[in-house]
Structure 1
Amino acid sequence: GQVYVALSRCRTFEGVVLRTPIRRRSLHTDSKVQSFSEESARKAPSPEQLRSDQTRYQEKIILELLDFRRLKDAIEALNRSFLEHSGSFTGNPGKQLSALAGMVTDKLLATSATFGQQLKQSYFTEGQMPEEHSALQERLRKAGGWYASVLSGELLPAAADIRLVSDNKTVLENARKQMQEIEWQLFSKKMLFEKLASEGFSVQVCLQTRIAAEIAFEKWKISRQLHESEDQVPTDASHPDLYRRLLEYRQLAANRTGTAPNNVLPAAVINQITSFLPITPRHLRQLKGFGKKRFEEYGPEVLKIVMDFCKENGLSPAPPPENTREHSLRLFEEGLTVAEIARQRG
C-alpha cells in the first residue's frame, strides 16, 4: 500500500531505484486518469488568455486600493456604539467622529468614485497591463501622493484626536477595538499610497506593503495605547490641567478608601466640574451625580482643588446648571403666573 502511494506521486520512473523489478504486466494505465490529463491539457489557458487574466487582476488590485468601504463601515460601527451608550462616554467623541466621517466622505469616497470611473473609461479599456502602462503609472503616482498626503496630514491626525474616556470598561474596550479598526484602515491605506507614489504600481509591492503595514501598525498601536493610558483627559475638556488634577485626586482617594476610582468621581462628574468650576458647596451639589453622600466624603477636597486652580489661573466659575423644577418654583414664588413662567422658559 505504501509503495502504491509513493509511486502514485511519481510522474516518471527516472531516478527511482527499486529493490525488486516491476514486471510490465504489473503496469497499467487508468483510463480516468488519462482522460483527466488530456482534458486538462486541452483546457490549459493560452498565453494570450493568461495575459488577459493578469491584466484584469492588476486592475482589480488598483480598484481595491481606491475602495474605502471598510473604513466607512468601521466608522458607522463606532458611531452606533456612541449612540447606544451615549451616557457612558465623557466629552463628545461622537462629534469628533462625525467630523472624521465627513472628511472621509468628501476627501476619499467622493474622489475615489470619480477617479475609479476615470481609470475604467480611460485606461482599463485598452487591454494593456497596468504594470507596463507608462501613462497609467504616472497617473497613479500622482494620485498616490495626493491620497498619502490627505491620509497622513488630515485623516489620521483627526482619528488620533478622538480620545475615548469612559468608566464603563466593557463599553470602552469595545469602542477601542472599533477605533483601532478605523485607524488600521487609514494607516494601511497611507502606507500603500506612499509606496504607490514613490515606486508606482506593482502587485508584488502592494502585497509586500500590506504585510509591512501589519507589522508597522502593531508598533504604532502600542505607542497609541501607552498614550491613552497616560492621558485620560478628553480632547474637548474645558480645562485639561484641572481634569488631570481631579484624576490624580480620585486615584489617591480611591487608594485611601479602597474603592474604585469611578466611585469617587465618575468621569461625567469630573467633566462637569471642569466645565462649571464650582467653588461653593451649593454650586458643587447642583452638578448631576454629586449627591449628599459624595459631597460629604469628597466635596471639601474637590472644592479646594477647584478654588486653587481658579486662583492660579484667574478664572471665575460658570453659572451652575439649574434644576428646572427649582427654577420654575423660584419664578412662581416671585409672583409670575404659570403662563408667564412658560413664556420665560420658552
Structure 2
Amino acid sequence: MMEEMNPIMQLAFDYVESTNTIIFLTGKAGTGKTTFLQYVKQHTRKKMAIVAPTGVAAINAGGMTIHSMFQVPFGPIIPSNTARPEAHFSVEKKELLSSLDLLVIDEVSMVRPDILDYIDLVLRNVKDSSYPFGGVQLFLIGDLSQLSPIIRDEEWMLLNRYYTNQYFFSSRVLQHSPFVRIELDHVFRQKEQSFVDILNEVRNNQISPPSLAVLNERHQPDFRPTATEPYITLTTHNSIAQKLNNEFIEALEGEVFDFKATIRGEFPKDAYPTETDLKLKIGAQVMFVKNDNSAEKLFYNGKIGLITRIESDTVFVRCGNETKDIAVQALEWTNIKYQLEEEQINETNAGSFAQIPLKLAWAITIHKSQGLSFDKAIIDVSEAFAHGQVYVALSRCRSLGGMVLRNKVSPHNIIGDPAIALFNNQAHAIKPDRERLTLDQERYRQFLIAELFNFAPVKSKMEGFEEVVPTFNTEVVTVAEKLTRQLHTIDTDRIKKAAVYFLQKLEAFTTSLHALIPGLISQSSTKKELAAKADQVMQLIMARITLMIHFSAEDFTVNAYLDLKKEAQAKSVADKSRSYVKALNAKPNEELYKQLMQWRVSMAEKNKVMPNMILSEKTIAAIAEKLPQTLKALGAIKGVGQPKAVQYGQEIIELIRAYQQASQPGEAEQKSLF
C-alpha cells in the first residue's frame, strides 16, 4: 500500500518530513493509520519516538507508554506555569528528550488534555524553548469516533475548571497552537460500499432509519455457530467475555494443557498480550494475538481458528477453510525503551514476554478488539455505555455478511459526544492543502534558522564556567536573540555573515575554555560533576562550530541543516580526545604507566616470577605520577625501596626520560592539573 501513497498520505508524509507543524492524523477504522505510522518510522530522517496511552497500544505501535516515557504522575494533573516536572529526571532521560525532533502519540483519542499539557511543559523545559512542545513536532494519530479517555467523576471535578472537555484537543497547548487535521478516507478493511456507508453514519451518530433497518437484518437472537465456524463475540464488559470463554472451554472434553509465559526484565502487566497461565484444550476456539513475521505469513493478529492437537510445546490450529494446520510455538514480544547513543535515538529492549501467541476467542471485549479485524463476529452492544463503543464493535467486521447481532441496535445504543461533533465540524478550517504546506514549510525553515542561532542551551550548561568566558552572554547570546527576532528579514547572505561572526566568537571561547577549565576542575570539590558538565559544554560548542563552518560558506537549506546537525552532534560526542572526564579518570602519565606495566610483565617472565613480585600495580602508578629522576627518589616511593631501586632502577629511569622527551609540550603539565 505504501509503495504508491495516495495524495492524502503523501501530504501527511510531507508534513511530517518538511515541517514541524502539529499534525492530527485521523480516519475511519481500517483506513491504514497504523500502516502509515510504520512507513513514517522506516523513512523519516527525524529523531523520533512513539508513545501511546496504554501498554497494549504501546506494544502494538512499537513504542513506550506515555507514562513511562515522560514519568507522568498518576491522577489528574493541575496545569501549572511554574512547576518543573523534569527536575527529577535522570541526565540520560533529559538528553533523550532534548534530542527529539518528532514525537508520535498513537491512539490519541484516549489521551486526556492534562496529559498533553504535561508533555508540553516537560519538553519546553528540557529543550529550554518557548515553542509548543519545545519545538518538537507532535504527530497525533487516532480516531475520535472510537474509544475515549477514561476519567473518573472525582477526577473530572478537579479538571473541568481548566478544560472544556475530556479530549486531547481541549488541552491548553493545542488551544494556543496551530495544528492541521489530516483525514485518511480510503477504507482498506471493508470492501462493501453499503457497509462502509452504514459505518460512516454510525461514526457520525446520524444513522438513518433505512441504514438501521439494513443493519438489524443481521439480528439473529438464537444464532449458535457450529464448531467449524470461527465466530467471536464482541461484548461491552470484560466480565461477560470471561464468562463466555470459561463456559465454552469447560464444556469441552479432554485434557487441559497449561502454558506458562516467560517474562524477563520490565514488561508492564497491562501490556500482556495474552494470559501468563494459558490453559488450552483440543477443540478450543482461539485467536492469534501476533502477526507471523516469517516469510509464510501464516497468521495475523486477530485471525481465529480451532485447536486440532497439542504436542509438548506446540499447538496446532486449523483456521476456517484452510486445509493445513498451523504449528504454533511460543513467540516473544518486546517492551521498547528509547536510549540516546551518540546523538541517535535507538530502541532498546527493556523486557520481553514469551508465550504461545493465542488466547481463547469465543468472546472479547470491544475495548480489547480495537485495531483488530474479524471475518465473522457476533456483536452485542445492548449494554453500550460509552461514546464510540458501537462504532468500534461494528467496524471490526470485514463485511456485513460476516456479522451477527445478538440484540438489535437501537439509536440510543449509538452514544455520541457533542464535543466530538463540534470539533469535527470546525476541523474543516484546519484541513491543509499544498498551499498551506508551503507556508508551514517556510515557518519550519525559519524555526530551524532560529535553532541554528539559539545559544540558550549552551548558556544553560555554562553554569560554573562564567568566569572563564565572561562575555559569552553579551557577545553571543544577546546578539543571537536580536538576530532571530528579525527572522522574516534574514536572507541567505545575512545567514552567512552571522555564521562567520559566531564562528569567530565560538572558536575564541573554545580556546579560553580549553586553557582554563582544567584549572577549575582541579580546584573543585566536585571534580567529576564539573568535568562531565565541561564535556557537555564543549560538545555543544563543537557541534555548533561545525554548523557555522558550513553555513558561513554554503546556502542554508532545511535538508542540509538536518543532515549536518545530526553529523555534527555525532562527531562531537564521538570525539573523546579532549574529554575532561577521560582526563580526570586517567592515571597520571597514563602512557608511561602502560609502558611500565609492559616492562613489569617482561621482567616477570625473565625472572620466572609473578608480576606483583617485581612491583605492584599501585607502585607502578605512583612511579608514573611522581616521575623520579634518581635512584634515591625512586627508592623513596612506597613499594620500591632501595634494593629494588638498585636492581631495576636504571631501566625504570630510562623509560621515564624517554617518555618525557617524547611527550608533547605542555601535555604532562595539563595532566598534572588533575
Q: Normalising by structure 1, report the TM-score.
A: 0.49
Higher percent of residues as helix: 1
Q: Normalising by structure 2, report the TM-score.
A: 0.29
Higher percent of residues as strand: 2
Q: Greater relative contact order (Cα 8 A, min sep 6): structure 1 or 2?
A: 1
